[in-house]
Amino acid sequence: MDYRKEFRVQPGAKVKLDPGYTGRHASHDDAKPQIERYLKKLFDQQNLLYAAHTHSILVVLQALDAGGKDGTIKHVFTALNPEGTTVASFKQPTPAELAHDFLWRVHPHTPGKGEIMIFNRSHFEDVLVPRVHKLIDKATWTTRIERIREFEALLADSGTTVLKFFLHISKEEQLARFALRLDDPNRNWKISEADYTERQLWDNYIEAFEDVIRATSTKNSPWYVIPSNNKWFRDLAVSQILADTMADLKLAFPPPSVDLADIRREYHAALREDKKGRKKA
């Protein structure tokens, strides 16, 4: 199954939302070998990305509260070498950030050549939360969407592959995850009053996400709507999409920057000297 085809939102197309879908997999145990295979492939592709130093990857994770952004980072992206991977989180804008254009706080965190950057929430917060809470009018959020399209086109032109994932869970699944936070002392710290007040705006958020995803899923920076009620299936889909997309870049290790014949001669000469020294000793 190619999840890039199944979950990719075509430009301007209607967004399909089925949070409980698991394809042909019945359980985590059934999917585990594939997950492990794609995580290994992802690790290998990152080595090529880092060495080639010609492309970069930006992964955008968006979801409603308890949708699994942190879990995806933990279970998928910990397969990567941290030397070439960074996570940036975008919460409520600070006064300094509000004093600038809405993309000002985002651009410095975009990845350099050879890097993978993961956005835990992103520039899309500025066309979702203000819209739902009626802090901006339609003309403003429509204009911001156009600026986002231009921003992501700039990144693509500069060699950055942009992959955007909406981790979709049902309203019932969200409530069940909130219950786990209440019952588990190790998760109590995640609880906030906003969890439940924002939940009352569920339909408004879904409508806003659908509009934004439809308007900003492009050829060079697509959106993928990932069924995420089952965390294991979420991890499988995200890892496959990312690993296969990176493989399509057809990256290769760069040629050596030195004359290997000279280096081999120096190595063997050093090896002979070392043997002589040990004999004398």
Q: Looking at the DSSP assignment, which residues form a beta bridge with residue 168?
A: 227
How far apart are alpha carbons 273 and 280 in whole angstroms?
11
Give me the amino acid identity at 257: S
Q: How far is residue 154 from each of residues 54, 117, 127, measured CA to CA in Å?
A: 16, 16, 19
pLDDT tens-place values along the chain, 281 residues long: 899 999 999 998 988 879 999 999 999 999 999 999 999 999 999 999 999 999 999 999 999 999 999 999 999 999 999 999 999 999 999 999 999 999 999 999 999 999 999 999 999 999 999 999 999 999 999 999 999 999 999 999 999 999 999 999 999 999 999 988 888 787 777 777 777 788 999 999 999 999 999 999 999 999 999 999 999 999 999 999 999 999 999 999 999 888 888 889 988 888 888 877 776 66
Greatest pairwise CA separation for the chain in angstroms: 85
N residues, the chain: 281
Number of domains in the chain: 1
Q: Looking at the DSSP assignment, which residues form a beta bridge with residue 9?
A: 223
Give the range of the structural domain holding residue 97, as residue numbers without chain letter. Answer: 3-280
CATH of the domain at 104: 3.40.50.300
HEC string for the chain = CCHHHHHEECCCCCCCCCCCCCCCCCCHHHHHHHHHHHHHHHHHHHHHHHHHCCCEEEEEEECCCCCCHHHHHHHCHHHCCHHHEEEEECCCCCHHHHCCCCCCCCHHHCCCCCCEEEEECCCCHHHHHHHHCCCCCHHHHHHHHHHHHHHHHHHHHCCEEEEEEEEECCHHHHHHHHHHHHHCCCCHHHCCCHHHHHHCCHHHHHHHHHHHHHHHCCCCCCEEEEECCCHHHHHHHHHHHHHHHHHHCCCCCCCCCCCHHHHHHHHHHHHHHHHHHHHHC
Query: Model-level pTM?
Result: 0.93
Side-chain-facing half-sphere of 205: CA atoms under 13 Å: 19
Which residues, including other chains, have CB under 8 Å from residue 83's CB and lie 6 or more apart?
A: 50
